[in-house]
Structure 1
Amino acid sequence: MDVTPGSATLGREWVSFDPASASATLRFRARPDFGNRHGTVQGGFLAAMLDSATGITLLATLPQELTAVTISLNTRFERPAPIGALTVKARVVEKDERDATVEAEVMSPDDTIVARGRAKLRIRKRQPV
């Protein structure tokens, strides 16, 4: 998959993808400048990681001529997230020809869930660049 400027900023890396279950594991690098006044990752960066992970997971299931855009992202922050490597597990839970729902969890290095997200995405034809 292409590395976009946003995914590069978030330090996104593919760990694994299972086409049979439409699920992926990704790693993100939360840099020190992602920190809030408490020394943990600011929630907006966690939401961006969830958005990135849900979108790229859906894209991995689509033919090349299709793409997807997020139309909503519901995020729940469970615990403070440490600066450093964070893992995201994402899976497509519903998909038809027009829309999809993808769920994901951000986990700290000790596998504690720090944030959850549920994204609704619109599937559409890729436009020429």
Structure 2
Amino acid sequence: MKKMTRGQLAKKTGLTPAAIRFYEDSGVLPQPERSESGYRLYGEEYLTLIQFIQDTKALGYPLSRIGDTLRKLSDGREMDVEGLRELVRRQIQDIERQEAHLAEVKFHLHRLLNEYDDEDVRGYLQTFRRDPEK
């Protein structure tokens, strides 16, 4: 398995080297092995780990929860097949809740565009102004 430097891993994942270092320092990513000269060397498995981090961050999970989950997955003793399936079920439920919320927001935005006249929209805009008289 070919090893990558932090810069190479950053290029492949779209993260910055600083973001990768942050994930390591915060315990979300495991510390990589080091070369004899002290360079950090990352295996291909880090691509999967970072993709998982990016996907779960996009769902709104805090880094602490992401790190806990990755540690359970890597430990193997705390996460069995059924445990992983339950984790995936919960993630699907979270996605479905987010989809329902986004559908509601989209519905209200469509109403704003299509059902309200200009005067109603001006009134709505006034609610955001610091000086409502202007």
**Does TM, normalized by the shorter one, top 0.5?**
no
Higher radius of gyration, 1 or 2: 2
Pairwise TM-score range, normalised by the shorter structure: under 0.3
Higher strand share: 1
TM-score, normalised by the number of residues in structure 2: 0.24
